[in-house]
Amino acid sequence: MSVKENLNKITNQIENAKKKVKREDEVLLLAVTKTIDYDLIDKSIEWGVRDIGENKVQDLLKRMDHYGDKVNYHFIGGLQRNKVKDIIGKVKLIHSVDSLRLAKEIDKRAKNIDIIQDCLIQVNVSKEESKSGVYLEELEQFVYNILELSNIKIKGLMTMAPYEAKENELREIFSRLQDAFNNIKNKNIKEIDMDYLSMGMSSDFEIAIEYGANIVRIGSSIYGDRNY
């Protein structure tokens, strides 16, 4: 299958998943380009991709050099504090804010260049040891702590489900994050905009959409298997 065919298929799957739960709002397809060759990424941009994501700072910076302002950039991986300065202000969203120390560094660097950086809080719903993210029980307090920082703006939540999770487990995880998202949204805190719920990858995005995901992060279903 070509990138074009893959994108068509995914677009249909997104629309069908939305119909299933009678959603009419937009779902952003975030193309995850890690390790992918430029000819394939070029094709995906040609066929409508406007947002790309990487999980390593060096790799994201290379994509920025290559594509300039042709696309929007998202950082979706573990972010070391000493690398925040390299991406601050250049990314539409940092999906992976998972500690107050990191949030403070983002706030400080954003202040330095007089911008407000939009971010998502990464939540570790299933408490997998191998994954980062705040736990659901800590989330509300975490949100209030970040509110004190004036140059970082919370725009929503992100999670990664375990790779081996079965369908019922995925539904449980996505529905718990959707509840947490709505709880925060319903507080109508003026300093934050709960615009984005980033969940769902190649193997589980259709289910995530049933639970309100409006950013799906998809790599291998667009580009084929990665060569690590």
Ligand X SMILES: *Cc1c(COP(=O)(O)O)cnc(C)c1O
Burial letters 49-66, b for 16+ CB under 10 A, else e: bebbbbbbbeebbebbee
SS3 211: coil
Query: What is the smallest separation between the CB atom of 179 and ligand X, expressed in angstroms?
Result: 21
* Complex with ligand X: residue 212 or 219, whichever CB lies closer: 219
Q: How many degrees, rounded to 5, is the angle at CA 156 between CA 155 and CA 158?
A: 130
Work out whether 208 is an interface residue with ligand X (CB under 6 A).
no
Contact residue for ligand X among 18, 74, 155, 217 (CB under 6 A): 217
Work out whether 126 is an interface residue with ligand X (CB under 6 A).
no
Contact residue for ligand X among 29, 31, 57, 76 (CB under 6 A): 76
Q: Which residue of this chain has its Cβ atom nearest to ligand X in the complex?
A: 219
- Sign of torsion over alpha carbons 32, 37, 42, 47: negative
Work out whether 201 is an interface residue with ligand X (CB under 6 A).
yes
Stretch that binds ligand X, among 18-26, 63-71, 189-197, 212-220 (CB under 6 A): 212-220
Stretch that binds ligand X, among 20-28, 80-88, 197-205, 206-214 (CB under 6 A): 197-205
Q: Give the rounded distance of the alpha carbon of 24 from its chain centre.
A: 20
The crossing angle, in degrees rounded to 10, of helices 136-147 and 100-112 is 30
> Under the rule (CB under 6 A), what is the footprint of ligand X?
32, 34, 55, 76-77, 160, 201-203, 217-221
